[in-house]
Amino acid sequence: MTKAKGYAAMTAKAALAPYAFERRSPREHDVAIEIKYCGICHTDIHQVREEWGQAIFPMVPGHEIAGIVTAVGRAVTKFKVGDKVGVGCFVDSCRKCEQCEKGLENYCTVGTVFTYNSREADGTPTMGGYSDFIVVDENYVLRMPGNLPLDACAPLLCAGITLYSPLRHWQAGPGKKVAIVGLGGLGHMGVKIAHALGAEVTVLSHSLRKKDDGKRMGADEFYATGDPETFTKLKNHFDLVINTVSADIDWNQYISLLRVDGTMVVVGLPEKQIPLSAFSLISGRRSLAGSMISGIHETQEMLDFCGQHKIASDIEVIPIQQVNVAYERMLKSDVRYRFVIDLATLKG
């Protein structure tokens, strides 16, 4: 075991504070990674506040981890010391079920081992990226784009893949009209990726406040959902609507924007259940779907794609001492567009 430092919530309502713990020494297939940067995902807030029930404390959150390999186990073949690597939302899975066989470890039917607030096969609680280093099996480690800054790429590991996977699965590309609902941490990645895939991209945001940002990121059109005209004008318009919003909005309104055979994919997580009228779906053979990150193979494909197209996140880098303030700001949507923690500040 090796001593690690991080920031943890000791209980569900506690602020994050410095925390010392231990990580395993690298086993033969493990990679040890010095964490340089870790993005802050909305999920981190939900989990440290135990809003989804049954959490494990103390909890070190963080699943947008970017760093440098410092040691490898003797059987490791994919990485070497000095490589720029990433760890996303999970660090292991059963490796045997139908989904793992297909490379969809994120949907492992036995149970994906998430990067934090989860347990390894031997029962050890996992600890995330608000820390100085992490030890992960090489099969769950990703290669970061070599041509882009590591800090701005950290959010690709959750926000990036959360949008890339449904855009690919529902074939966003030339000739397709795609709407991204919400221009936050998730949405802004969706605009950049959908644009790079060649789709016609429209942002649906509650106001026009972020219009210039949206256009800069690659949006062709930008509409305010606060204006009821928007829903009349864009009726039956889109092939694909990706809904990144976790606030309670009327999904029926957004489904009405789909053309025949269009799909709305939900990637945000509203707290309450949202009522849906069957009429919204049947009157156009429309589909409502959901999507959650993706497997290792597609996550690597996304990172390579972002490298090729020079896509990274728009970030505000913060010292770890400001993490609790950052949480408060995120709850007010006061971030453009993702906070990333500089873990060098943990050493101070």
Which residue is closest to Zn ion by CB?
41
Residue number with CB closer to Zn ion (202 or 313): 313
Q: Which of 13-21, 151-159, 188-196, 262-270 is the region at the interface with Zn ion (rule: CB under 5 A)?
A: 151-159
Listed ranges 121-129, 146-154, 157-165, 227-235: which one lies at the site for Zn ion (CB under 5 A): 157-165
210-239: contacts with Zn ion (CB under 5 A): none
Shortest CB 210 distance to Zn ion, Å: 21
Which among 130-138, 153-161, 199-207, 273-281 is the span making contact with Zn ion, rule CB under 5 A? 153-161
Closer residue to Zn ion in complex, CB, 115/263? 115
Burial 241-257 (b: 16+ CB within 10 A, else e): bbbbbbeebebeebbbb
The conformational region for residue 218 under phi > 0 = left, psi -120 to 50 = alpha, else beta, is left
Q: Kindly identify the residues of this chain, within the stretch 170-209, that bind Zn ion according to CB under 5 A.
A: none
Beta carbon nearer to Zn ion, 113 or 241: 113
- Whichever of 44 and 200 has its CB closer to Zn ion, that residue is 44
If the CB atoms of residues 157 and 197 are measured against Zn ion, the closer one turns out to be: 157
Q: How far is 212 from 217, CA to CA, in rounded Å?
A: 9
Nearer to Zn ion among residue 215 and residue 329 (C-beta): 329
CB atoms within 10 A of CB 25: 12
At 15 the three-state DSSP class reads coil
If the CB atoms of residues 6 and 262 are measured against Zn ion, the closer one turns out to be 6
Judged by CB under 5 A, the stretch of 8-16, 34-42, 79-87, 177-185 that binds Zn ion is 34-42
For the chain, count helices (H), then strands (E). 11, 17
40, amino acid identity: I
Q: At closest approach, how far in Å is the CB of 100 from Zn ion?
A: 3
Answer yes or no whether residue 41 interacts with Zn ion by CB under 5 A.
yes
8 Å CB contact between 192 and 218: yes
| Interface with Zn ion in residues 82-141 (CB under 5 A) | 93-94, 97, 100, 108, 110
- φ, ψ dihedrals at 158, nearest 5°: -125, -60
Q: Encode 58-74: b = buried (16+ Cβ within 10 Å), e = exposed.
A: bbbbbbbbbbbbebbbe
Q: Where do we find the tokens 């950049």? A: 192
Interacting residue with Zn ion among 35, 144, 158, 346 (CB under 5 A): 158
Work out the number of other CB atoms within 10 angstroms of the CB of residue 8: 22
Min. distance of Cβ 99 from Zn ion in angstroms?
A: 5
Nearest to 37 by CA among 335, 312, 328, 334: 312
Total length of the chain: 348
Site size with Zn ion, rule: CB under 5 A: 9
CA pair distance 242, 229, nearest whole angstrom? 20
In the bound complex, what is the minimum distance in angstroms from residue 35's beta carbon to Zn ion?
A: 16
For the bound state, the minimum distance from the C-beta of residue 139 to Zn ion, rounded and expressed in Å, comes to 12
Binds Zn ion (CB under 5 A): choice among 9, 16, 31, 43: 43
* Footprint of Zn ion (CB under 5 A): 41, 43, 93-94, 97, 100, 108, 110, 158
